[in-house]
A and B are shown apart, each in its own frame.
Chain A
């Protein structure tokens, strides 16, 4: 029987009284305690510690085989789909390439609104017109655009609130990063390391979009570190140090940590002699002022394009018997590092893939470089032992998990190159070590793979941070650009270029479940809960797939 209209309206009225309480705004306090509400995923890396670890436990190793697809959202874009969704109280917020934002019902995938942004045609991203996701505070979303604008959006309507030009797109500056909200600021950095930009990280007032501080990743004349730019006089002005993955935040230390990109030009270090600070580094910045507290450089005077644009993973655990605030980092250069995140002290480092550009790390963590002869292969190759896709740390297993490219090399060729604004500024190129063969397609592959066994392969590698031991490896035929998610039930979710999405046992690496999604996974899986049901979402190909138990 149909209920009378009046009772329906009354019921709607009652619900409307309840919903504002349930759907409270995303306060700074909620962001700080995001680990305490695992039903939501309120920032790119899940929490400020960026472990991509969830305490949701409905899906576990015994029932994971009962996962089924609940919905698919098909993006209106043929670009790589790199977004990590946010979920807040049943609403999902995603980006689609190049720079659109959308709100969806997290239970059904139906769309509430789309904010379409048309980046200026001046935008010249090196490697795809992609976007990795949003940040949220209060009822406001923050979107970094391909043409280097930062836009605040009303989370209920998708209407823009303010739009700040962060940098000059026609000079090669772009943004693909998911912003990070810290207190009353939203922090972003600029991409463009293949266009001779001078990188920076900047904070903007969440209410007005006004710049609050800026940290130049390449120090100018008179600033400490400037002396690490020798060779050509203007080398530092085009020194790169781009930012394209989201940083982390330690509220107790009041520091935000960001990984920086390659020095420019990428492959000709002779044009920029010296260590080239702060390229290929992690920088620890005061969140209120943007002042540098400490830095650690992974690859000084890098000739390989070993960007350190990985997500800093913050872990509080015992180290040699006493509690310590750690940072763990599997770097594109093939080494896994453990640092003290209060002061940047190097604690340990081990190769996690085949490495021949360095014979090891010294007591301070500086690589002992062993450049290979001309035309000889360098391991790892240009895409690195890993890259931008997020790793995961499980406090439950104590293991660090990373998507790796194993047994993979490039032959690097140097060339002198003049800087011209807006032009690629790379100083050479990587080539394949296989005679007559191709390079592994660096960014995107079609559905056919017939040669990677000669060129390298993908793996999920579980690293014991205390010893560097690889506890287990899950091998794939093709390489992978997938992020990793772990849960308190010792599940690990990851995909790869083949378009499979796997659930592994995080303790052993045993395959528990997989699904073919038909397009490469170039994003980080995440999990959330709505109305008592746990979901897992991952973007693959040009669609976002969401699974839950049958």
Chain B
């Protein structure tokens, strides 16, 4: 674990100073916040800040607070009626936590400036044929996840990994399923939700479909991604360009 910490801190160190978003927070604050976050917040919020449904700290957009002062206050008061408890911290600790939370999205990054985002968009839409499955800002198919805010919620390294090895980096929440009804109809699509008795999915025709398991003859969750690996399809430079483009996608909220 110690190694991982140091690595993360090294990343922070390399970040602070050359990235405008983080520039307003001191390296010491971010590092202190990282330690406090791991001691106090990670159990519920997770290492990536996205373990609570509907809450993704990396997006830097919060339902209840906008300013640092409000975020600072919320950490102290908690959110009554939810699992978010009040936290008692020193002023310095609070500054650290806010600095770290505000900087989470910039973590784990490749060197800024690498890749050409404009060229990346062209590859994304043409050579890569990504919009045949993915959607960005109301353009493209809904069969695969909408990527309009992917740059806000995934690190550049994670984006690159997804392009190189889609199956290896596919999260369970993006799995595809194949179901066969009793009368032999085959339904495939991306799973949106599942419980003991039912499945909700978006099928290959972009229809929202809800199935009752007891009506099915066959049901499988596919562990391989329908996305082709781009390791060989694109050059390393082209991959950098696509990642640079994806990083600009911060969503329209």
Please report which residues of chain B, range 158-173, place their CB below 8 angstroms from some CB of chain A when the two chains form the complex: 158, 169, 171-173
Given the known inter-chain contacts A124-B88, A424-B39, A449-B194, please indicate yes or no for A77 contacting B81, CB distance below 8 A.
yes
Looking at the complex, which one of B53, B81, B196 makes contact with A478 (CB distance below 8 Å)? B196
Q: List 19 A-B contacts (CB under 8 A).
A: A77-B81, A121-B77, A125-B85, A128-B83, A415-B1, A415-B39, A422-B88, A431-B47, A436-B169, A438-B51, A444-B83, A447-B53, A448-B53, A449-B194, A449-B195, A450-B172, A450-B194, A476-B196, A500-B196
- Interface residue tally for chain B (C-beta within 8 Å): 40
Q: How far is the CB of A130 from chain B (nearest CB, A)?
A: 9
B43 proximal to A (CB < 8 A)? yes
B203 to chain A minimum Cβ distance, whole angstroms, is 16
Question: Within the assembled complex, what's the spacing in Å between the Cα atoms of A117 and B188?
Answer: 52
For residue A497, which residue of chain B has the nearest CB?
A: B195
Q: How many residues of A contact B (CB 8 A)?
A: 55
- Complex formed: what's the CA distance from A10 to B42 in Å? 66
Tell me the nearest residue of chain B to A266, going by C-beta: B43
The reply to whether B221 and A453 form a contact with Cβ atoms under 8 Å apart is yes
Q: B196, A453: Cβ atoms under 8 Å?
A: no
- Report if A442-B44 is in contact (Cβ < 8 Å); known contacts: A415-B1, A449-B195: yes
* Pair B53/A129 contact, Cβ less than 8 Å: no
Q: How far is the CB of B213 from chain A (nearest CB, A)?
A: 9
In the complex the two chains form, what is the Cα distance from A447 to B173 in whole Å?
A: 13
Q: Are B52 and A441 neighbours in the complex by a CB distance under 8 Å?
A: yes
Assembled-state Cα–Cα distance A441/B50 (Å):
10
A454, B46: Cβ atoms closer than 8 Å:
no
Can you list, as one digit per residue, whether each of A247-289 has a CB less than 8 Å from chain B (1) or not (0)? 0000000000000000000000000000000000000000000
A443-B83 contact, Cβ under 8 Å, with A422-B88, A424-B39, A449-B195: yes
**Is B86 among interface residues, defined by CB-CB distance under 8 A?**
yes
With A438-B51, A448-B53, A453-B172 already in contact, the answer to whether A500 and B195 are too (CB < 8 A) is yes
Q: A129-B80, A429-B38, A446-B54 are in contact. Are A437 and B193 (CB under 8 A)?
A: no
Report whether B1 and A413 are in contact in the complex, using a CB–CB cutoff of 8 Å. yes
B121 to chain A, nearest CB (A): 26
Taking CB atoms, residues of chain A closer than 8 Å to B81 are 77-79, 97-98, 129
Q: Are B172 and A124 neighbours in the complex by a CB distance under 8 Å?
A: no
B42, closest chain A residue (CB)? A429
Q: Judge if B87 is at the interface, Cβ distance under 8 Å.
A: yes
- Prevailing SS type, chain B contact patch: loop
B175 contacts A by Cβ under 8 Å = yes
The verdict on A441 contacting B192 (CB below 8 Å), with A129-B80, A422-B88 known, is no
Chain A residue contacts of B129, Cβ below 8 A = none
Known A-B contacts A413-B1, A442-B44, A450-B192; A127 and B172 likewise in contact (beta carbons under 8 Å): no
A443 to B175 alpha-carbon distance, docked (Å): 24
- Nearest residue in B to A128 (C-beta to C-beta)? B83
CA gap between A433 and B118 in the complex, in Å: 38
Assuming A454-B172, A476-B195, what are 9 further A-B pairs, CB within 8 angstroms?
A97-B81, A124-B88, A438-B51, A445-B53, A448-B193, A450-B173, A450-B174, A450-B192, A453-B172
Q: Which of B48, B52, B83, B85 contacts A124 (CB 8 A)?
A: B85
A498 contacts the other chain (CB 8 A) = yes
Q: Is A124 a contact of B86 with CB atoms below 8 Å?
A: yes
Residue of chain A at shortest CB distance from B77 = A121
**Chain A interface (Cβ within 8 Å of chain B)?**
77-80, 97-98, 121, 123-129, 170, 374, 413-415, 417, 422-424, 426, 429-432, 434, 436-439, 441-451, 453-455, 475-478, 496, 498, 500, 514
Known: A121-B77, A424-B40. A439 touches B46 (CB 8 A): yes
Q: Is the CB of B82 within 8 A of A78?
A: yes
Smallest CB–CB gap between B209 and chain A, Å?
15
Would you give the shortest CB distance from A493 to chain B, in whole angstroms?
16
List of A residues within 8 angstroms of B171 by Cβ: 436-437, 451
How far, in angstroms, from A81 to B120 measured CA to CA in the complex?
Answer: 49
| Distance between Cα atoms of A170 and B85 in the complex (Å) | 13
- Which of B51, B82, B195 is the most central at the interface, judged by chain A CB atoms within 10 Å of its CB? B195
Find the A residue at minimum CB distance from B80. Answer: A129
- C-alpha spacing A475/B213, complex, angstroms: 14
Chain B residues 62 to 114 lying within 8 A of chain A, measured CB to CB, are 77, 80-83, 85-89
Question: In the complex, are the beta carbons of B191 and A450 less than 8 A apart?
Answer: yes
Question: CB distance B46 to A417 under 8 Å?
Answer: no
B169 contacts across to A, CB distance below 8 A: 436
Name B172's contact: one of A423, A429, A451 (CB within 8 Å): A451
Given contact pairs A124-B88, A441-B52, A451 touches B196 in the complex (Cβ within 8 A): no
> How many angstroms from the CA of A476 to the CA of B88 in the assembled complex?
39
Contact of A447 among B44, B86, B193 (CB under 8 A): B193
Min distance, Cβ B165 to any Cβ of chain A, angstroms = 11
Beyond A79-B81, A129-B81, whether A446 also contacts B53 by CB under 8 A is yes
CA distance A453 to B194 in the complex (A): 10
CB-based nearest A residue for B5: A415
Distance A436 CA – B50 CA, assembled complex (angstroms): 11
